[in-house]
Amino acid sequence: MTSTLLPGNIVYGGPITAHEAQDYRSLGQYVLDKYKSFGDQVVMIDAVTGVEYTAKYLYESTVRMAHILQKLGVKHNDVVGLSSENNISFAIAMFAGFAVGATVAPLNVTYSDREVDHAINLSHPKIIFASKMTVDLVAKVAKRNKFVKGIIALSGSSKNHPNVYSFTELMSNDKFKTPADFTSPLANKIEDVALIVCSSGTTGLPKGVQLTQFNLLATLDSQIQPTMMPLNEITLLTVIPWFHAFGCLTLITCACMGTRLVYLPKFEENLFLGAIEKYRVMMAFMVPPLMVFLAKHPIVDKYDLSSLMVLLCGAAPLSRETEDQIKERIGVPFIRQGYGLSESTLSVLVQNDEFCKPGSVGVLKVGISCKVVDPDTGKILGKNERGELCFKGDGIMKGYIGDTQSTQTAIKDGWLHTGDIGYFDDDFEFFIVDRIKELIKYKGFQVPPAEIEALLLTHDDIKDVAVIGRPDEEAGELPMAFVVKQAKVQLTEEDVIKFVHERASPAKRLRGGVIFVDEIPKNPSGKILRRILRDMLKKPKSKL
Protein backbone atom coordinates (compact mmCIF):
# COMPACT_ATOMS: atom_id res chain seq x y z
CA MET A 1 0.00 0.00 0.00
CA THR A 2 1.37 3.39 -0.96
CA SER A 3 0.61 6.56 1.00
CA THR A 4 -1.58 9.19 -0.61
CA LEU A 5 -1.89 12.93 -0.04
CA LEU A 6 -5.46 13.92 0.80
CA PRO A 7 -6.85 17.46 0.56
CA GLY A 8 -5.42 19.77 3.22
CA ASN A 9 -1.97 18.10 3.14
CA ILE A 10 -3.13 15.04 5.12
CA VAL A 11 -1.01 11.95 4.38
CA TYR A 12 -2.95 8.65 4.53
CA GLY A 13 -1.43 5.18 4.75
CA GLY A 14 -4.47 3.43 3.27
CA PRO A 15 -7.12 1.23 4.90
CA ILE A 16 -6.53 -1.87 7.05
CA THR A 17 -7.74 -4.66 4.79
CA ALA A 18 -7.50 -7.53 7.33
CA HIS A 19 -10.25 -7.67 9.97
CA GLU A 20 -9.71 -11.03 11.65
CA ALA A 21 -8.64 -9.62 15.04
CA GLN A 22 -11.07 -6.68 15.10
CA ASP A 23 -14.02 -9.01 14.50
CA TYR A 24 -13.25 -11.10 17.60
CA ARG A 25 -15.40 -10.94 20.76
CA SER A 26 -12.36 -9.82 22.78
CA LEU A 27 -8.57 -9.54 22.78
CA GLY A 28 -8.37 -12.32 25.38
CA GLN A 29 -10.31 -14.75 23.19
CA TYR A 30 -8.18 -13.87 20.17
CA VAL A 31 -4.93 -14.67 22.02
CA LEU A 32 -6.36 -17.94 23.43
CA ASP A 33 -7.63 -19.11 20.03
CA LYS A 34 -4.32 -18.26 18.40
CA TYR A 35 -2.32 -20.26 20.95
CA LYS A 36 -4.80 -23.15 20.60
CA SER A 37 -4.31 -23.18 16.82
CA PHE A 38 -0.50 -23.37 17.04
CA GLY A 39 -0.56 -26.64 19.03
CA ASP A 40 2.85 -28.15 19.78
CA GLN A 41 4.77 -25.44 17.95
CA VAL A 42 7.58 -23.90 20.07
CA VAL A 43 6.64 -20.25 20.54
CA MET A 44 8.93 -19.05 23.35
CA ILE A 45 12.49 -19.84 24.40
CA ASP A 46 14.15 -18.62 27.59
CA ALA A 47 17.68 -17.85 26.39
CA VAL A 48 19.06 -17.93 29.96
CA THR A 49 17.76 -21.40 30.93
CA GLY A 50 17.37 -22.83 27.42
CA VAL A 51 13.82 -24.01 28.25
CA GLU A 52 11.46 -24.11 25.24
CA TYR A 53 7.71 -23.53 25.61
CA THR A 54 5.01 -24.70 23.21
CA ALA A 55 1.82 -22.86 22.28
CA LYS A 56 -0.13 -25.70 23.95
CA TYR A 57 1.72 -25.02 27.23
CA LEU A 58 1.02 -21.28 26.97
CA TYR A 59 -2.66 -21.92 26.20
CA GLU A 60 -3.18 -24.33 29.10
CA SER A 61 -1.21 -22.19 31.57
CA THR A 62 -3.07 -19.01 30.53
CA VAL A 63 -6.47 -20.71 30.92
CA ARG A 64 -5.49 -22.04 34.34
CA MET A 65 -4.24 -18.67 35.61
CA ALA A 66 -7.34 -16.93 34.16
CA HIS A 67 -9.53 -19.34 36.13
CA ILE A 68 -7.45 -18.66 39.30
CA LEU A 69 -7.79 -14.89 38.82
CA GLN A 70 -11.56 -15.25 38.62
CA LYS A 71 -11.52 -17.30 41.86
CA LEU A 72 -9.47 -14.51 43.47
CA GLY A 73 -12.23 -12.06 42.56
CA VAL A 74 -10.80 -10.45 39.40
CA LYS A 75 -13.68 -9.46 37.14
CA HIS A 76 -14.17 -7.93 33.69
CA ASN A 77 -12.62 -4.40 33.67
CA ASP A 78 -10.76 -4.85 36.97
CA VAL A 79 -7.04 -3.98 36.81
CA VAL A 80 -4.17 -6.45 37.21
CA GLY A 81 -0.69 -5.00 37.88
CA LEU A 82 2.44 -6.71 36.54
CA SER A 83 5.93 -5.89 37.83
CA SER A 84 8.48 -8.25 36.37
CA GLU A 85 11.44 -8.62 34.07
CA ASN A 86 10.94 -10.79 30.94
CA ASN A 87 10.05 -14.38 31.80
CA ILE A 88 7.41 -16.97 30.87
CA SER A 89 5.29 -16.14 33.93
CA PHE A 90 5.03 -12.50 32.76
CA ALA A 91 3.46 -13.67 29.49
CA ILE A 92 1.09 -16.12 31.22
CA ALA A 93 -0.01 -13.47 33.75
CA MET A 94 -0.65 -10.84 31.08
CA PHE A 95 -2.58 -13.15 28.75
CA ALA A 96 -4.60 -14.51 31.72
CA GLY A 97 -5.52 -10.91 32.57
CA PHE A 98 -6.73 -10.38 29.00
CA ALA A 99 -8.62 -13.71 29.10
CA VAL A 100 -10.78 -12.61 32.06
CA GLY A 101 -11.42 -9.23 30.42
CA ALA A 102 -9.22 -7.34 32.91
CA THR A 103 -6.96 -4.38 32.20
CA VAL A 104 -3.26 -5.19 32.55
CA ALA A 105 -0.97 -2.47 33.95
CA PRO A 106 2.74 -3.31 33.57
CA LEU A 107 5.11 -1.58 36.01
CA ASN A 108 8.73 -0.68 35.35
CA VAL A 109 10.94 -2.96 37.47
CA THR A 110 13.39 -0.12 38.10
CA TYR A 111 10.74 2.08 39.72
CA SER A 112 11.45 3.48 43.18
CA ASP A 113 8.94 3.32 46.05
CA ARG A 114 7.59 6.75 45.03
CA GLU A 115 7.20 5.76 41.38
CA VAL A 116 5.47 2.44 42.14
CA ASP A 117 3.09 4.30 44.46
CA HIS A 118 2.41 6.88 41.73
CA ALA A 119 1.84 4.21 39.05
CA ILE A 120 -0.55 2.02 41.04
CA ASN A 121 -2.51 5.09 42.15
CA LEU A 122 -3.09 5.80 38.48
CA SER A 123 -4.40 2.32 37.64
CA HIS A 124 -5.72 0.92 40.98
CA PRO A 125 -4.85 -2.76 40.44
CA LYS A 126 -6.79 -5.36 42.46
CA ILE A 127 -4.03 -7.97 42.10
CA ILE A 128 -0.35 -7.34 41.34
CA PHE A 129 1.99 -9.97 39.91
CA ALA A 130 5.57 -9.31 41.05
CA SER A 131 8.88 -11.04 40.37
CA LYS A 132 11.47 -12.01 42.96
CA MET A 133 13.28 -8.78 42.10
CA THR A 134 10.29 -6.50 42.83
CA VAL A 135 7.98 -8.37 45.24
CA ASP A 136 9.36 -6.80 48.45
CA LEU A 137 8.95 -3.25 47.19
CA VAL A 138 5.53 -3.95 45.64
CA ALA A 139 4.30 -5.57 48.89
CA LYS A 140 5.57 -2.58 50.90
CA VAL A 141 3.83 -0.03 48.66
CA ALA A 142 0.65 -2.14 48.41
CA LYS A 143 0.29 -2.05 52.20
CA ARG A 144 -0.37 1.69 51.97
CA ASN A 145 -2.97 1.24 49.22
CA LYS A 146 -6.07 -0.65 50.32
CA PHE A 147 -7.34 -1.18 46.76
CA VAL A 148 -4.63 -3.86 46.27
CA LYS A 149 -6.29 -7.08 47.48
CA GLY A 150 -3.44 -9.48 46.80
CA ILE A 151 0.01 -10.00 45.32
CA ILE A 152 1.14 -13.01 43.30
CA ALA A 153 4.87 -13.73 43.55
CA LEU A 154 6.00 -15.03 40.15
CA SER A 155 8.95 -16.91 41.63
CA GLY A 156 9.79 -18.29 45.06
CA SER A 157 7.39 -18.82 47.95
CA SER A 158 4.91 -16.41 49.51
CA LYS A 159 5.98 -16.88 53.14
CA ASN A 160 7.62 -13.46 53.59
CA HIS A 161 4.44 -11.39 53.26
CA PRO A 162 0.79 -11.59 54.19
CA ASN A 163 -1.61 -11.34 51.20
CA VAL A 164 1.10 -12.70 48.90
CA TYR A 165 0.35 -15.85 46.92
CA SER A 166 2.91 -17.99 45.13
CA PHE A 167 2.36 -18.26 41.36
CA THR A 168 3.79 -21.82 41.37
CA GLU A 169 1.66 -22.89 44.34
CA LEU A 170 -1.52 -21.46 42.81
CA MET A 171 -0.84 -23.17 39.47
CA SER A 172 -0.34 -26.56 41.20
CA ASN A 173 -3.16 -26.23 43.77
CA ASP A 174 -5.75 -28.99 43.32
CA LYS A 175 -8.61 -26.87 44.64
CA PHE A 176 -8.53 -24.83 41.42
CA LYS A 177 -10.17 -27.13 38.88
CA THR A 178 -9.16 -25.87 35.45
CA PRO A 179 -12.14 -25.77 33.08
CA ALA A 180 -11.88 -27.89 29.93
CA ASP A 181 -12.83 -24.85 27.90
CA PHE A 182 -12.59 -21.15 28.69
CA THR A 183 -14.54 -18.32 27.08
CA SER A 184 -13.38 -14.75 27.53
CA PRO A 185 -16.14 -12.24 28.47
CA LEU A 186 -17.66 -10.30 25.60
CA ALA A 187 -15.84 -6.96 25.43
CA ASN A 188 -16.96 -3.47 24.58
CA LYS A 189 -13.81 -3.23 22.45
CA ILE A 190 -13.93 0.54 21.89
CA GLU A 191 -14.31 1.35 25.60
CA ASP A 192 -12.65 -1.54 27.46
CA VAL A 193 -9.00 -0.76 28.29
CA ALA A 194 -6.64 -3.69 27.65
CA LEU A 195 -3.40 -2.06 28.78
CA ILE A 196 -2.34 0.86 30.94
CA VAL A 197 1.28 1.50 30.01
CA CYS A 198 3.32 4.17 31.71
CA SER A 199 4.64 6.81 29.32
CA SER A 200 8.40 7.31 29.20
CA GLY A 201 8.37 10.09 31.75
CA THR A 202 11.15 12.01 30.00
CA THR A 203 9.58 15.24 31.26
CA GLY A 204 8.43 14.18 34.73
CA LEU A 205 6.42 11.46 36.49
CA PRO A 206 4.94 8.92 34.04
CA LYS A 207 1.36 9.20 32.79
CA GLY A 208 -0.86 6.14 32.40
CA VAL A 209 -1.60 5.58 28.70
CA GLN A 210 -4.90 3.72 28.20
CA LEU A 211 -4.90 1.40 25.18
CA THR A 212 -8.25 -0.21 24.40
CA GLN A 213 -8.94 -3.73 23.20
CA PHE A 214 -9.82 -2.21 19.81
CA ASN A 215 -6.52 -0.28 19.72
CA LEU A 216 -4.65 -3.58 20.08
CA LEU A 217 -6.86 -5.69 17.79
CA ALA A 218 -6.72 -3.12 14.97
CA THR A 219 -2.94 -2.85 15.41
CA LEU A 220 -2.64 -6.65 15.17
CA ASP A 221 -4.62 -6.58 11.91
CA SER A 222 -2.38 -3.80 10.56
CA GLN A 223 0.70 -5.98 11.16
CA ILE A 224 -0.41 -8.45 8.48
CA GLN A 225 1.43 -6.97 5.51
CA PRO A 226 2.21 -8.99 2.37
CA THR A 227 5.69 -7.44 2.07
CA MET A 228 6.81 -8.61 5.51
CA MET A 229 8.61 -11.88 6.19
CA PRO A 230 5.96 -14.32 7.55
CA LEU A 231 6.34 -13.97 11.30
CA ASN A 232 5.23 -17.55 12.01
CA GLU A 233 8.30 -18.87 10.20
CA ILE A 234 11.00 -16.89 11.93
CA THR A 235 13.04 -16.97 15.12
CA LEU A 236 13.08 -13.55 16.72
CA LEU A 237 15.19 -12.29 19.64
CA THR A 238 14.03 -9.66 22.10
CA VAL A 239 15.68 -8.09 25.11
CA ILE A 240 13.27 -5.11 25.14
CA PRO A 241 11.59 -5.04 28.58
CA TRP A 242 8.02 -6.32 28.35
CA PHE A 243 6.85 -3.81 30.95
CA HIS A 244 7.64 -1.10 28.40
CA ALA A 245 5.10 -0.36 25.64
CA PHE A 246 7.49 -1.38 22.81
CA GLY A 247 8.32 -4.68 24.50
CA CYS A 248 4.79 -5.45 25.68
CA LEU A 249 3.11 -4.79 22.33
CA THR A 250 5.73 -6.72 20.35
CA LEU A 251 5.28 -9.65 22.78
CA ILE A 252 1.51 -9.63 22.08
CA THR A 253 2.12 -9.37 18.32
CA CYS A 254 4.57 -12.28 18.31
CA ALA A 255 2.17 -14.40 20.38
CA CYS A 256 -0.65 -13.86 17.91
CA MET A 257 1.57 -14.47 14.86
CA GLY A 258 3.09 -17.73 16.13
CA THR A 259 6.63 -16.34 16.08
CA ARG A 260 9.39 -18.35 17.79
CA LEU A 261 10.35 -15.72 20.35
CA VAL A 262 13.73 -16.02 22.07
CA TYR A 263 13.82 -13.69 25.08
CA LEU A 264 16.29 -12.37 27.63
CA PRO A 265 15.39 -10.67 30.94
CA LYS A 266 18.11 -8.07 30.44
CA PHE A 267 20.98 -7.26 28.14
CA GLU A 268 24.17 -9.18 28.83
CA GLU A 269 26.77 -9.10 26.07
CA ASN A 270 27.62 -12.81 25.92
CA LEU A 271 24.08 -14.05 26.44
CA PHE A 272 22.72 -11.72 23.77
CA LEU A 273 25.31 -12.67 21.15
CA GLY A 274 25.26 -16.33 22.22
CA ALA A 275 21.48 -16.52 21.76
CA ILE A 276 21.75 -15.22 18.18
CA GLU A 277 24.40 -17.85 17.42
CA LYS A 278 22.75 -20.80 19.24
CA TYR A 279 19.17 -20.33 18.01
CA ARG A 280 20.09 -19.01 14.53
CA VAL A 281 18.09 -15.87 15.21
CA MET A 282 16.83 -14.23 12.00
CA MET A 283 15.29 -11.06 13.36
CA ALA A 284 15.75 -8.95 16.49
CA PHE A 285 13.96 -6.05 18.12
CA MET A 286 16.56 -3.39 18.82
CA VAL A 287 17.03 0.04 20.35
CA PRO A 288 19.88 2.43 19.40
CA PRO A 289 22.18 1.56 22.36
CA LEU A 290 22.12 -2.10 21.25
CA MET A 291 22.83 -1.03 17.67
CA VAL A 292 25.84 1.01 18.82
CA PHE A 293 27.03 -2.11 20.72
CA LEU A 294 26.81 -4.23 17.53
CA ALA A 295 28.59 -1.54 15.55
CA LYS A 296 31.46 -0.88 17.93
CA HIS A 297 32.11 -3.55 20.58
CA PRO A 298 35.14 -5.81 19.95
CA ILE A 299 33.41 -8.88 21.48
CA VAL A 300 30.91 -8.99 18.58
CA ASP A 301 33.57 -10.48 16.27
CA LYS A 302 33.80 -13.62 18.43
CA TYR A 303 30.28 -14.82 17.56
CA ASP A 304 28.63 -16.18 14.42
CA LEU A 305 25.82 -13.73 13.70
CA SER A 306 25.37 -14.78 10.07
CA SER A 307 21.76 -15.90 10.64
CA LEU A 308 20.65 -12.30 11.28
CA MET A 309 18.54 -11.03 8.38
CA VAL A 310 16.56 -8.15 9.87
CA LEU A 311 17.14 -5.73 12.73
CA LEU A 312 14.03 -3.74 13.69
CA CYS A 313 15.02 -0.60 15.58
CA GLY A 314 12.73 1.80 17.40
CA ALA A 315 12.25 3.89 20.56
CA ALA A 316 14.88 6.54 19.73
CA PRO A 317 16.68 7.90 16.64
CA LEU A 318 19.26 5.68 14.95
CA SER A 319 22.04 7.36 13.01
CA ARG A 320 22.91 6.46 9.44
CA GLU A 321 26.54 6.00 10.47
CA THR A 322 25.68 3.31 13.05
CA GLU A 323 23.46 1.55 10.51
CA ASP A 324 26.25 1.53 7.91
CA GLN A 325 28.81 0.26 10.44
CA ILE A 326 26.57 -2.73 11.33
CA LYS A 327 25.90 -3.64 7.69
CA GLU A 328 29.60 -3.55 6.93
CA ARG A 329 30.64 -5.43 10.05
CA ILE A 330 28.01 -8.18 10.34
CA GLY A 331 26.45 -8.18 6.89
CA VAL A 332 22.85 -7.80 8.11
CA PRO A 333 20.95 -7.18 4.86
CA PHE A 334 17.96 -5.34 6.34
CA ILE A 335 17.95 -2.71 9.06
CA ARG A 336 14.50 -1.25 9.48
CA GLN A 337 13.58 1.72 11.61
CA GLY A 338 10.13 2.46 12.90
CA TYR A 339 8.54 5.24 14.88
CA GLY A 340 5.77 5.00 17.41
CA LEU A 341 4.69 6.07 20.86
CA SER A 342 3.04 4.41 23.83
CA GLU A 343 0.08 6.63 22.92
CA SER A 344 -0.19 5.16 19.39
CA THR A 345 -0.14 1.41 20.23
CA LEU A 346 3.20 0.48 18.69
CA SER A 347 4.50 2.02 15.46
CA VAL A 348 2.75 4.46 13.15
CA LEU A 349 5.69 4.73 10.73
CA VAL A 350 7.79 1.82 9.48
CA GLN A 351 10.41 1.21 6.83
CA ASN A 352 9.77 -1.58 4.32
CA ASP A 353 11.65 -3.06 1.37
CA GLU A 354 10.58 -0.21 -0.90
CA PHE A 355 10.79 2.73 1.49
CA CYS A 356 13.97 2.61 3.56
CA LYS A 357 16.08 5.67 2.83
CA PRO A 358 18.96 6.11 5.28
CA GLY A 359 17.85 8.24 8.21
CA SER A 360 14.14 7.84 7.55
CA VAL A 361 11.62 6.11 9.82
CA GLY A 362 9.67 4.86 6.83
CA VAL A 363 6.13 5.43 5.65
CA LEU A 364 2.73 5.46 7.32
CA LYS A 365 1.27 2.12 8.33
CA VAL A 366 -2.17 1.20 7.05
CA GLY A 367 -5.01 2.72 9.05
CA ILE A 368 -2.96 5.81 9.97
CA SER A 369 -3.20 9.45 8.85
CA CYS A 370 -0.62 12.13 9.55
CA LYS A 371 -0.40 15.90 9.35
CA VAL A 372 2.69 18.05 9.91
CA VAL A 373 1.79 21.21 11.81
CA ASP A 374 3.75 24.43 12.27
CA PRO A 375 4.06 24.55 16.10
CA ASP A 376 3.89 28.34 16.12
CA THR A 377 1.05 29.04 13.68
CA GLY A 378 -0.91 25.76 13.61
CA LYS A 379 -0.71 25.74 9.79
CA ILE A 380 -0.70 22.29 8.14
CA LEU A 381 2.53 21.97 6.17
CA GLY A 382 3.37 20.18 2.93
CA LYS A 383 6.25 18.07 1.61
CA ASN A 384 9.74 18.74 2.98
CA GLU A 385 8.44 21.26 5.54
CA ARG A 386 9.37 20.67 9.18
CA GLY A 387 6.74 20.75 11.89
CA GLU A 388 5.11 18.75 14.68
CA LEU A 389 3.92 15.29 13.63
CA CYS A 390 0.27 14.57 14.47
CA PHE A 391 -1.41 11.19 13.91
CA LYS A 392 -4.93 9.85 13.70
CA GLY A 393 -6.04 6.22 13.46
CA ASP A 394 -7.37 3.10 15.16
CA GLY A 395 -4.29 2.75 17.40
CA ILE A 396 -4.52 6.17 19.08
CA MET A 397 -4.99 5.81 22.84
CA LYS A 398 -8.23 6.40 24.71
CA GLY A 399 -6.41 8.95 26.88
CA TYR A 400 -4.27 9.31 30.00
CA ILE A 401 -5.96 7.71 32.99
CA GLY A 402 -7.23 10.26 35.50
CA ASP A 403 -5.67 13.17 33.61
CA THR A 404 -8.22 14.91 31.41
CA GLN A 405 -6.04 18.00 30.98
CA SER A 406 -3.04 16.08 29.61
CA THR A 407 -5.36 14.04 27.36
CA GLN A 408 -6.91 17.20 25.90
CA THR A 409 -3.42 18.68 25.35
CA ALA A 410 -2.24 15.51 23.56
CA ILE A 411 -5.37 14.73 21.51
CA LYS A 412 -7.13 17.53 19.67
CA ASP A 413 -10.02 16.66 17.31
CA GLY A 414 -8.85 13.06 17.28
CA TRP A 415 -5.26 14.00 16.32
CA LEU A 416 -2.45 12.88 18.62
CA HIS A 417 0.14 15.66 18.95
CA THR A 418 3.48 13.94 19.42
CA GLY A 419 5.81 16.79 20.36
CA ASP A 420 8.21 15.44 17.73
CA ILE A 421 9.49 17.55 14.86
CA GLY A 422 9.71 15.89 11.46
CA TYR A 423 8.78 16.05 7.80
CA PHE A 424 7.85 13.84 4.85
CA ASP A 425 9.64 13.92 1.51
CA ASP A 426 8.38 13.60 -2.08
CA ASP A 427 7.99 9.81 -1.64
CA PHE A 428 6.06 10.21 1.65
CA GLU A 429 8.98 8.86 3.67
CA PHE A 430 9.16 10.47 7.09
CA PHE A 431 12.19 11.85 8.91
CA ILE A 432 12.29 12.76 12.60
CA VAL A 433 14.36 15.82 13.36
CA ASP A 434 13.90 16.08 17.13
CA ARG A 435 11.53 16.67 20.00
CA ILE A 436 10.14 20.17 20.43
CA LYS A 437 11.20 20.23 24.06
CA GLU A 438 14.68 18.89 23.33
CA LEU A 439 15.68 21.32 20.60
CA ILE A 440 18.57 23.49 21.74
CA LYS A 441 17.93 27.17 21.03
CA TYR A 442 21.27 28.79 20.18
CA LYS A 443 21.00 32.48 19.15
CA GLY A 444 17.66 31.76 17.46
CA PHE A 445 18.90 28.61 15.72
CA GLN A 446 17.14 25.35 16.55
CA VAL A 447 19.83 22.73 17.15
CA PRO A 448 18.75 19.06 17.24
CA PRO A 449 20.75 17.16 19.91
CA ALA A 450 20.22 13.85 18.04
CA GLU A 451 22.17 15.18 15.09
CA ILE A 452 25.26 16.07 17.15
CA GLU A 453 24.99 12.76 19.02
CA ALA A 454 24.96 10.82 15.74
CA LEU A 455 28.04 12.72 14.61
CA LEU A 456 29.94 12.09 17.87
CA LEU A 457 29.14 8.35 17.73
CA THR A 458 31.19 8.14 14.52
CA HIS A 459 34.28 8.89 16.64
CA ASP A 460 36.10 5.61 17.31
CA ASP A 461 37.00 6.59 20.89
CA ILE A 462 33.42 7.50 21.91
CA LYS A 463 31.24 4.71 23.28
CA ASP A 464 28.09 6.73 24.04
CA VAL A 465 27.00 10.34 24.16
CA ALA A 466 24.17 12.72 25.02
CA VAL A 467 23.85 16.37 24.06
CA ILE A 468 21.81 19.04 25.86
CA GLY A 469 21.63 22.83 25.94
CA ARG A 470 23.60 24.54 28.71
CA PRO A 471 21.75 27.74 29.72
CA ASP A 472 23.61 30.88 28.64
CA GLU A 473 22.55 34.46 29.21
CA GLU A 474 23.78 35.75 25.87
CA ALA A 475 23.07 32.87 23.47
CA GLY A 476 20.08 31.28 25.21
CA GLU A 477 21.59 27.79 25.23
CA LEU A 478 24.98 26.38 24.29
CA PRO A 479 25.25 22.80 22.96
CA MET A 480 27.23 20.62 25.36
CA ALA A 481 28.03 16.92 25.37
CA PHE A 482 28.14 14.21 28.03
CA VAL A 483 30.58 11.62 26.68
CA VAL A 484 31.32 8.00 27.63
CA LYS A 485 34.79 7.02 26.42
CA GLN A 486 35.73 3.63 25.02
CA ALA A 487 37.86 1.62 27.46
CA LYS A 488 41.53 2.56 27.77
CA VAL A 489 41.57 5.47 25.36
CA GLN A 490 43.04 8.94 25.75
CA LEU A 491 40.40 11.49 24.82
CA THR A 492 40.27 15.11 25.96
CA GLU A 493 37.53 17.72 25.98
CA GLU A 494 39.49 19.61 23.32
CA ASP A 495 39.56 16.52 21.07
CA VAL A 496 35.76 16.18 21.21
CA ILE A 497 35.11 19.89 20.67
CA LYS A 498 37.51 19.97 17.71
CA PHE A 499 35.89 16.86 16.18
CA VAL A 500 32.49 18.57 16.07
CA HIS A 501 33.93 21.96 15.10
CA GLU A 502 35.44 20.45 11.94
CA ARG A 503 32.26 18.63 10.92
CA ALA A 504 29.26 20.76 11.92
CA SER A 505 27.81 24.18 11.27
CA PRO A 506 28.63 26.94 13.80
CA ALA A 507 25.34 26.67 15.73
CA LYS A 508 26.03 22.99 16.43
CA ARG A 509 29.51 23.39 17.88
CA LEU A 510 30.03 22.32 21.49
CA ARG A 511 30.34 25.81 22.95
CA GLY A 512 28.90 24.51 26.24
CA GLY A 513 31.82 22.14 26.71
CA VAL A 514 32.20 18.40 27.32
CA ILE A 515 31.74 16.36 30.50
CA PHE A 516 33.04 12.79 30.64
CA VAL A 517 30.70 10.36 32.43
CA ASP A 518 30.58 6.60 33.11
CA GLU A 519 27.17 6.15 31.50
CA ILE A 520 24.32 8.06 29.87
CA PRO A 521 21.01 7.92 31.81
CA LYS A 522 18.32 6.27 29.67
CA ASN A 523 14.88 4.83 30.15
CA PRO A 524 14.37 1.08 29.44
CA SER A 525 13.63 1.71 25.76
CA GLY A 526 16.89 3.57 25.20
CA LYS A 527 15.58 7.13 25.24
CA ILE A 528 18.07 9.58 26.76
CA LEU A 529 16.78 11.11 30.02
CA ARG A 530 17.95 14.64 29.33
CA ARG A 531 16.21 16.05 32.41
CA ILE A 532 18.62 14.02 34.59
CA LEU A 533 21.56 15.55 32.70
CA ARG A 534 20.07 19.02 33.15
CA ASP A 535 19.70 18.31 36.87
CA MET A 536 23.36 17.25 36.99
CA LEU A 537 24.28 20.66 35.59
CA LYS A 538 22.17 22.47 38.18
CA LYS A 539 23.62 20.43 41.05
CA PRO A 540 27.19 19.61 40.06
CA LYS A 541 28.60 16.69 42.02
CA SER A 542 32.24 16.32 42.93
CA LYS A 543 32.52 13.64 40.23
CA LEU A 544 30.09 13.59 37.34
- Position 157 pLDDT exceeds 70: no
Q: How confident is the model over 91-115, as a mean pLDDT?
A: 94
Q: How confident is the model over 41-52, as a mean pLDDT?
A: 97
Structure confidence at residue 226 as a pLDDT band (50, 70, 90): very low
- Position 474 pLDDT exceeds 80: no
Q: Which residues contact 404 (CB under 8 A, 6 or more apart)?
A: none
Distance CA 357, CA 430 (A): 9
- Position 313 pLDDT exceeds 70: yes
Structure confidence at residue 183 as a pLDDT band (50, 70, 90): very high
Report the chain's terminal Cα–Cα distance, integer Å: 50
Q: How confident is the model over 452-464, as a mean pLDDT?
A: 93
- CA distances in angstroms from 24 to 20, 30, 121, 250, 365, listed in the order given: 7, 6, 31, 20, 22
Mean pLDDT of the chain: 91
Do 133 and 243 meet the contact criterion of CB atoms below 8 Å apart? no
Long-range contacts of 532-539 (CB under 8 A, 24+ apart): 533/466, 533/468, 533/482, 534/468, 537/468, 537/470
Q: Which residues of 136-170 are buried (b: 16+ CB within 10 A; e: fewer)?
A: ebbbebbeeeeebebbbbbeeebeebeebbbbeeb
Phi first, then psi, for residue 325 (nearest 5°) are -60, -40
Distance CA 99, CA 391 (A): 30
pTM (predicted TM-score): 0.87
Q: How many CB atoms lie within 10 A of CB 379?
A: 13
- Give me the pLDDT at residue 227, please: 43
What domains does the chain contain, in order, with CATH numbers?
Answer: 1-17+361-435 (2.30.38.10), 20-216 (3.40.50.12780), 440-538 (3.30.300.30)
Structure confidence at residue 319 as a pLDDT band (50, 70, 90): confident
Structure confidence at residue 445 as a pLDDT band (50, 70, 90): confident
Distance CA 24, CA 20 (A): 7
Distance CA 264, CA 46 (A): 7
